[in-house]
Amino acid sequence: MDPPDSGVLDGVSCGVVVLRHIQHCVSTQPYHLMEVPSRHQSNLIYTVVAPQPEDPLEEFVCTCPSFNYRSRCIHQEMAYSDRCLWDEETGSEQQTPTQQARHICPRCGNETYVTTELIDE
């Protein structure tokens, strides 16, 4: 019989499973809210919602009157072009130790959240 730490359980070989924590910008979450300033009134901010991070521009929804009447507006375009979508695996920017500890996105400065993924080895 194999010793308990040999990777064999009741005659079945067990592979090593590694858990990896990966940080993602909050802009990668579904129904992410983005605040976009009005182009005409400096004290007015509209909210644009991106239902899914990879959705096309037409799926973004805005709280401005123009969107209410036309189902499209400049704020959609501004929010779409400002999406960060950074994550630790695919992003070219590396977090500093401080950014990593404080959960700060190195690309846009927003918060990050952590997911845990299984990596088979």
Structure tokens at 106: 């190195």
The string of pLDDT tens digits covering residues 47-67 is 999 999 889 999 999 999 999
The string of pLDDT tens digits covering residues 10-61 is 545 556 788 989 999 999 999 999 999 999 998 999 999 999 988 999 999 9
DSSP 18-61: EEEEEEEEGGGSTTEEEEEE-SS-TT-EEEEEESSTT--GGG-E
User: What is the distance between the alpha carbons of residues 24 and 37, in angstroms, rounded to a whole number?
Assistant: 25
77 phi and psi, to 5 degrees? -60, -40
pTM for the model stands at 0.74
